[in-house]
Amino acid sequence: MSDLKKIKEEFISKLKLKLDLAQINEIKSDLFGKSGLITSQFKQIASIAESERKNFASDLNLIKDELQSLINTKISEIEIADINEKLEKEKIDVTLPERTIIRGKIHPVSQTIDEISSIFSEIGFSVAEGPDVENEYNNFTALNTPDHHPARDMHDTFYLDKEKKKLLRTHTSPVQIRTMLKNKPPFKIIAPGRTYRSDSDQTHAPMFHQVEGLHIDKDINMGHLKGCLNYFIKEFFEVDKIQMRFRPSHFPFTEPSAEVDIGYKIKDGKIIIGEGDKWLEILGCGMVHPNVLKNVKINPDSFQGFAFGIGIDRLAMLKYGINDLRAFFECDYRWLNHFGFDPLDVPTNYRGLSR
C-alpha cells in the first residue's frame, strides 16, 4: 500500500472513534502541522519522478481534502452537542420569584439641603458654592478676624500646612467673600456645604454642614433679617406660628450680631417646634460688618445687609427625630434605610429636587 493510502486509512479509522476537541486538534496538527504527515508529503512532491508527479499530487490533494472535511465535520458535531447539552441543562424556570431590588435612599442631610435651598429660592436667593479646602484669608482675615484674634482658636481649625495658610473651612462664611469678590452688589445668596472643626461628641462631628445666607443691597436692615429667618423657620418646620428670639452675640464679621433660638416643648416624648417654654439655638447671624464690605471693595455707606449661618445637621435632627449626630456619617446602611428618603416616594411636604 502506498504511503498516502496508509495515512488515509489510519486517520479515517482514528477519526471514527469518539473524540473530544483536544484529541481532534491533536490529529489536526499530526496531519497538517508544520511537520505533519500531509505537510511533509507536500514537501516531497518536487523529488518525485516527473512521470508520477502529477498523479501523486492529485491523490495527495484528494486525501488532504477528505481528511480536512472529516475533521471539520467532527468539530462541528462536538460544538452542536455542547450547545444542546447546555440548552438541556440551563432551562429558565419562569416560575421562580424575581430577585428583590434594593433601592437606594436619599440621606436625610441631602434631603434637608434640598428643602432649605427650595425654601430660600422661593424668596429670591440663589445658591453659591465654595471649596472645602480654603485659604486662611477667606476663612478668617477677610471676615474681620485677623491673625491672633481669639476667634481663630474658637474654631479649632484643621490646618493643612505648617504656615497655617490652607485649612478645611470652619464655616461657610468664606463663600460670602468669594461671592462678593467675584461679582457686584446686590447679593442674595445661600451657600450650603460641608464645614470642619476638631470636635466630636453626640452633638458635634468633625465634619458637619452649614448653610450660609447673605443679602446685600442699598437699604437692607435687621427687620429684613428677622422677617427672612421667621419665614424660613416656619416653612422648614411646616408650622404657622413660631416663637423666635434674637439673643445678642458676637461674631467678628457681623455688627450687631445675634444668635437665634426657637421655642419648643416636649410632648409625649416628642419635640414640638414653635411653641412651649424651652429655647433651642439654631443659627448665628447679624448685619455684615463694614470692615468685611471694605475688604471686598464695597462701600459700606452705599451697601449694607445681613448674613446668617445655620447648622443643617441640627435642623435635620430636629425635623426627623434623629438624636445622635454621629449616625449621619457612619454610613450604616440599616440606619439609612430607616431614616433615608425613598427617591421615588417623596413625602407630600417634600419641596426640594433630589440632587
The residues that touch ligand PHE, with contacts defined as CB under 6 A, are 171, 173, 251, 254, 284-286, 307-309
Chain residue whose CB lies nearest ligand PHE: 309
Select 60 or 287, whichever has its Cβ closest to ligand PHE: 287
**Backbone φ and ψ of 191, nearest 5°:** -140, 95
Alpha carbon 352 to its chain centroid, in Å, reads 18
Q: In whole angstroms, how close is the CB of 342 to ligand PHE at the nearest point? A: 32
C-alpha distances in Å from residue 316, one per residue of 179, 243, 320: 26, 19, 6
Q: In whole angstroms, how close is the CB of 257 to ligand PHE at the nearest point? A: 6
C-alpha distances in Å from residue 237, one per residue of 90, 115, 315: 57, 10, 9
DSSP label at residue 341: B
Select 284 or 340, whichever has its Cβ closest to ligand PHE: 284
Q: In whole angstroms, how close is the CB of 286 to ligand PHE at the nearest point? A: 5
Select 157 or 173, whichever has its Cβ closest to ligand PHE: 173
For the chain, the first-to-last Cα distance in angstroms comes to: 85
Select 105 or 178, whichever has its Cβ closest to ligand PHE: 178
Those residues whose C-beta lies under 8 Å from the C-beta of residue 160, and which sit 6 or more positions away, are 133, 166, 167, 168
Select 117 or 173, whichever has its Cβ closest to ligand PHE: 173
Q: In whole angstroms, how close is the CB of 102 to ligand PHE at the nearest point? A: 37
Alpha helices in the chain (DSSP H): 3-16, 21-32, 37-44, 50-89, 108-122, 136-139, 151-154, 174-182, 222-237, 290-295, 312-320, 333-339
Select 110 or 144, whichever has its Cβ closest to ligand PHE: 144
> What pairs with residue 265 in β-bridges?
272
Q: In whole angstroms, how close is the CB of 127 to ligand PHE at the nearest point? A: 16
